[in-house]
Amino acid sequence: FTNPLEFIDFVTQLRELSGGKPIGFKLCVGKRREFIAICKAMHETGIAPDFISVDGGEGGTGAAPMEFSNHIGTPLVEGLIFVHNVLVGFDLRKKVKIISSGKMTSGFGLVKRLALGADLCNSARAMMMALGCIQARKCNSNLCPVGVTTQNPSLFGALVPEEKSQRVNNYHRNTVVSACQIMGAMGLEKAEELRPWHLMRRIEAYEIRNFSEIYEYIETGSLLQDTKPESYARACDAARSDSFTATN
């Protein structure tokens, strides 16, 4: 594919070839207009992926160059809210699930991302550590000394599935339990009840605001109107469904 419309057509092809399995894509937000262009293509064709996985510019894989980690891409919180808002603005949010990743290590991290707009979360780094990762930064070399990211028989023998599977299971289970305990303390019965205003941040020594006061959340269908939210208008006007290149 070379443009947003062809990209959405590719999603359709994958869905057909897989026999109807859920199809989605992952991104770290870069140019805002490019994601808006994809959403314009979704709106025009009536075709949408089943999910979008949003990562942040923080961190990176063990194979990432040092210059990339923490320097390339939109930070997770801002990127997650942006993707949520654009889908809402094009009235696509009910069709597409948002998955949040990016240094998700704790029950509070899970609650925070769900409150900001994610439907579910995934964890790579923390799960790898539970599996035995020591951050040797050898992921792309096939020389992982603890056997997590290698196919080398002399190295992957260090990973004992019977032992490590229990550690991963314990970490996963206890993280979910802690998230449930936090939501219980908030008086909530399910994750769908979480909202941005449940999260508070200290702005100054004597000022605290919730996230709905700090970040803008736009109305359903607002990017389809002639008068768009000011903070999204320029990128929305520049986005084209038939090209990733800006119109101006």
What domains sit in the chain, N to C, each tagged with a CATH number? 4-238 (3.20.20.70)
Q: Is 0.85 surpassed by the pTM of this model?
A: yes
The more confident residue out of 32 and 104 is 32
Dig out the tokens for 155 from the structure. 């190295």
Phi, psi of 68 (to 5 degrees): -85, -40
Average pLDDT of the chain?
Answer: 93
pLDDT at 205: 93
Tally the residues of the chain. 248
Dig out the tokens for 43 from the structure. 């709106």
**Whole-Å CA distances, 240 to 3, 86, 177, 244:** 9, 14, 44, 7
pLDDT at 63: 67
Q: How confident is the model at residue 185 (pLDDT cuts 50, 70, 90)?
A: very high
Amino acid, single-letter form, for residue 177? V
Q: How confident is the model at residue 174 (pLDDT cuts 50, 70, 90)?
A: very high
3-state helix, strand, coil in the chain (%, to 5): 45, 10, 45
Indicate the range of 6-20, 58-72, 89-103, 208-222 predicted with least confidence.
Answer: 58-72
Has residue 65 got a pLDDT over 80? no
Q: How confident is the model at residue 60 (pLDDT cuts 50, 70, 90)?
A: low
pLDDT digits 0-9 by tens, 113-133: 999 999 999 988 899 999 999
The answer to whether the beta carbons of residues 221 and 91 sit under 8 Å apart is yes
The answer to whether the beta carbons of residues 72 and 57 sit under 8 Å apart is yes
Name which of 89, 119, 83, 54 is nearest 218 in CA terms: 89
Has residue 9 got a pLDDT over 90? yes
The more confident residue out of 172 and 246 is 172
**What share of the chain in percent tops pLDDT 70?**
98
Indicate the range of 63-67, 97-101, 120-124 predicted with least confidence.
Answer: 63-67
pLDDT at 135: 86
Other C-beta atoms lying within 10 Å of the C-beta of residue 155: 18
pLDDT at 183: 97
Amino acid, single-letter form, for residue 186? M
What's the mean pLDDT in 198-211?
95
CA angle 18, 13, 235 (to 5 degrees): 125
Has residue 37 got a pLDDT over 80? yes
Has residue 44 got a pLDDT over 90? yes
**What share of the chain in percent tops pLDDT 90?**
82
